[in-house]
Amino acid sequence: MGAHEDFLDYIDRNADKFIQRLADAVKRKSISGDAGRRKETIEMGHWLEKQLKDLGVATVLKDLGQHPMQGQLLDLPPAILGRLGEDPKKKTVLVYGHYDVQPALQSDGWDTDPFELVRKDDRLFGRGSTDDKGPVMGWLNVLEAHHKQDMELPVNLRFCFEGMEESGSEGLDELIEKEVAEGEFFKGVDCVCISDNYWLNTRTPALTYGLRGIAYFAINVSGPVQDLHSGLFGRMVHEPMTDLIKLMSRLVDHNGTILVPGIEEMVPPPDEQELKLYTKMDYSLSDVAEAAGASIALSDHKETVLMGRMRNPSLSLHGIQGAFSEPGCKTVIPSKISGKFSLRLVPPQTPEAVIPLVTQYIESEFAKLNSKSKMTVEYLHGGKPWVADVNHWNFEAAKKAIEAIWKKIPDYTREGGSIPVTLTLAEKLGVNVLLLPMGRADDGAHSTNEKLDISNFIEGTKVLGTYLYEVAALTAAA
């Protein structure tokens, strides 16, 4: 079927306006993991709701309650539920996205202010540009093109936007479960579309049918009641930092193999048919180097590298809280520290299955140290992995949209990251969930100098709109 030419023309004519809308979103420091930015995160939710209302969407802000963070009891940012279209003859597509972002400081290594969208060499740099404000603004662009031109949308739309995705989506699962059981909002939804991930490379658009889950932990080690002078107490007392480094070194080896017994063994090896999928993908080791900024792949075989990202679990060490990290020299023995790490999970793994394995292993390794320090293992948050049926019309519609706009056949990928709500929507609604990425592999989501190519923003907007037309065409034919 393809999208209406008036829609495509409107997107091209208004590209600068759409970039300004993204700039307005980026400047709002909606950092869900920072208690000091909670007010701005909530304000971002209200701003987004107004944008939706102005484009004809019937919206409601859902209060998700409160939660403790950084010693405070904070209001959770509201979830935004929106409805547009009630035609029983049309399919109903639920769109999910998030308006919160990761922390960012220019001193982290950004070339520019992370909360000022900067246009440079046909790229848009700014925190949230690709994750996930760019795609969310893309949906607003689609709505505007139809609203301003009095064009009828080919499907009914439902929207679910949250402000806590970067902090475990607190409160959202409960809202979805309650709405499915008691409310009207999700009734009649035929499929789900999420744009919150990335192409496998910088050349070929992708459709994603799987996500790894996550289980995030902290190892908390304490000893003295206060920090100590290393000249006075070094080699006199058990030091928490020494114990923690020893424990963290026993979680994963330098080749990425997870050392916690029972974790790797949960996952069956790939069969010959699955291996062929990775061989066919448009990907090379140079893509790893381009995205990472260095030639540091764990293997010289592309299939092994791809499986490491898509279908195998991984364990990464993230940081140590409470340790000295400022410039200069400080001869201190920290009294209390916390080492953070996470596991990325694949089917059939779940957080519930790995938590006892991780806890028991770390406790047994700590016992071997014969240390007088105190140690606890803390599970912070997690989400299950997810895999979808790529033969569903939802994926076929997205494939046709990509072919129409990008003139390329998409890669079918399983993503290494985690979007916990994906599995919740699939299970609670009982419908097909599609991940339709806008950004490229080198966008640097969560990193310094996060960016979104202008072509991906504008052509990606066209893909989102064309996808809706293809959904209508395919389901009408069926």
Q: Which residues pair with 158 in a beta bridge?
A: 83, 94
Among candidate residues 215, 208, 251, 146, the one with its CA nearest the CA of residue 441? 208
Of 34, 49, 100, 415, which is the active-site residue? Answer: 100
Residue with structure tokens 């999910």? 96
- Verify cis geometry, omega within 30 degrees of 0, for the bond prior to 389: no
Check if 100 is active-site.
yes
Would you tell me how many other CB atoms lie within 10 Å of the CB of residue 339? 25
Identify the H or E element spanning 43. helix 38-54
Q: Say how far apart CA 442 and CA 199 lie, in whole Å.
A: 9
Cα dist from 288 to 219, 255, 258, 293, 294, whole Å: 31, 16, 21, 8, 8
Q: Are 427 and 92 in contact (CB under 8 A)?
A: no
For helices 351-369 and 240-249, what crossing angle results, to 10°? 130
In the chain, helix, strand, coil percent, each to 5? 40, 25, 40
Check if 174 is active-site.
no
Of 34, 132, 165, 287, which is the active-site residue? Answer: 165
Residue with structure tokens 């140690």? 375
Active site residues: 100, 165
